Amino acid sequence: MSKLIITAALTGAEVTREQQPNLPITPQEISAAALEAYQAGAAIVHVHARRKDGSPTQDRDIYGEIQRLVTGASPLIFQPSTGGATWHSAAERLQPLDLSPEMATLSTGTCNFGRDIFANPQDFYEKAARIMQERGVKPEFEVFEAGMIDNALRLVRDGFVQAPLHFNFVLGVPGAMSASVRNLSFLVDSIPPDATWTVSGIGRFETPLAAAAIAMGGHVRVGFEDNIYYGRGELATSNAQLVARIVRIANELGRQVATPDQAREILGLAGKNA
């Protein structure tokens, strides 16, 4: 079993300061949260940029400032979002790829997202995959519904992406696939044997699915994008606090935690920006 890769999803596009007073918003706050998460055990930081007023943005310049600060302070893998917010245009969502990050997220299908629709038509995800291939960016396929796996595999067959693939199973978003170990097992059984995978349990499902993933040989994402609480009715004090809990669980289960460079080896990123 490989070492455990922990991703910290620091901010997201939906959470507000009113909901979570410790939410990092500015590039400086996000980079400081990233450094704390790294020191707690994270190897990857998944980043959504925000404007000064807290609103989500896909502006390449703001992402560029975050990338500069994060990679200048730590060896973390910087992973921007191409999902953005549900109302961002396709052109806006693809801006972070101009920075040629080591990884970026890519959703290969449309799904309900609460009362909104997270639109990912085929033309969009094929274009995103083509840009990633040209720039040497490894996609993390964010899977909210099982059919998104089939679409990702079709990208391989059509020459847009090269194997081995990496998936992130996002379970528990209202309107999309529910969070259960049964669903997680089904998704894991649906991907190629040489693929790697992470699970992101939303809200109260974050820790139970993380524990299952650790035992199953997968990897784990935690952070304020997915869950703002540490316990029932108890707001988390930081993203690093959520990362540290996963490290403790992994230690109890005898699973070693990967450093960023070890994560690069596992994901096939070694040599790009290491």
Tens of pLDDT, residues 174-205: 999 999 999 999 999 999 999 999 999 999 99
Q: Give the end-to-end CA distance of the chain in Å, rounded to a whole number.
A: 23
Taking residues 54-82, report their average pLDDT.
Answer: 98
Kindly state whether residue 274 falls inside one of the protein's structural domains.
Answer: no
Residue 75 has pLDDT above 50, yes or no: yes
d(CA 243, CA 234): 16
pLDDT value of residue 274: 40
Tens of pLDDT, residues 99-126: 999 999 999 999 999 999 999 999 999 9
Taking residues 55-65, report their average pLDDT.
Answer: 98
Q: How confident is the model at residue 1 (pLDDT cuts 50, 70, 90)?
A: confident
Tens of pLDDT, residues 25-48: 999 999 999 999 999 999 999 999
Kindly state whether residue 130 falls inside one of the protein's structural domains.
Answer: yes
Tens of pLDDT, residues 220-246: 999 999 999 999 999 999 999 999 999
**Across all residues in the chain, what is the average pLDDT?**
97
3-state SS, the chain, equals CCCECEEEECCCCCCCCCCCCCCCCCHHHHHHHHHHHHHHCCCEEEECEECCCCCEECCHHHHHHHHHHHHHHCCCEEEECCCCCCCCCHHHHCHHHHHCCCEEEECCCCEEECCEEECCCHHHHHHHHHHHHHHCCEEEEEECCCHHHHHHHHHHHCCCCCCCCEEEEEECCCCCCCCCHHHHHHHHHCCCCCCEEEEEECHHHHHHHHHHHHHHCCEEEECCCCCCEEECCEECCCHHHHHHHHHHHHHHCCCCECCHHHHHHHHCCCCCCC
d(CA 30, CA 47): 8
- The pTM of the whole model exceeds 0.75: yes
Domain that holds residue 213: 6-267
d(CA 199, CA 197): 7
CATH number, domain of 158, equals 3.20.20.70
Q: How confident is the model at residue 271 (pLDDT cuts 50, 70, 90)?
A: low
**Nearest in space to 192 (alpha carbons), one of 164, 162, 231:** 164
d(CA 240, CA 38): 8
Tens of pLDDT, residues 153-176: 999 999 999 999 999 999 999 999
- Domain count of the chain? 1
Kindly state whether residue 198 falls inside one of the protein's structural domains.
Answer: yes
Q: How confident is the model at residue 273 (pLDDT cuts 50, 70, 90)?
A: very low
Kindly state whether residue 272 falls inside one of the protein's structural domains.
Answer: no
Kindly state whether residue 208 falls inside one of the protein's structural domains.
Answer: yes
Taking residues 49-57, report their average pLDDT.
Answer: 97
Kindly state whether residue 1 falls inside one of the protein's structural domains.
Answer: no
Kindly state whether residue 217 falls inside one of the protein's structural domains.
Answer: yes
Kindly state whether residue 24 falls inside one of the protein's structural domains.
Answer: yes
